Amino acid sequence: MTRFIILAVVVSLLCRWVFGRWPWEFLRAKPTQAQEVFRARKLLGVSAEASHAQIIEAHKRLVRQVHPDMGGTTAQVHEANAARDMLIDNLPDTARQP
DSSP the chain: -HHHHHHHHHHHHHHHHHHSS-GGGGGSPPPPHHHHHHHHHHHHT--TT--HHHHHHHHHHHHHHH-GGGT--HHHHHHHHHHHHHHHHTS-GGG---
pLDDT digits (tens, 9 = 90+) for 82-98: 999 999 998 886 655 65
Q: How far apart are CA 85 and CA 34, in angstroms?
A: 15
User: Taking residues 55-65, what's their average pLDDT?
Assistant: 95
- The confidence score (pLDDT) of residue 94 equals 61
User: Taking residues 39-66, what's their average pLDDT?
Assistant: 94
Cα of 51 vs its chain's centroid, Å: 21
At a CB cut-off of 8 Å and minimum separation 6, what does 20 contact?
none
**What does the domain layout of the chain look like in residue ranges?**
1-30, 31-98
Model pTM score? 0.66
Q: How many CA atoms lie within 13 A of 19 on its CB side?
A: 12
Q: Please tell me the CATH superfamily of domain 31-98, with its number.
A: DnaJ domain (1.10.287.110)
pLDDT averaged over every residue in the chain = 89
User: Taking residues 56-76, what's their average pLDDT?
Assistant: 93
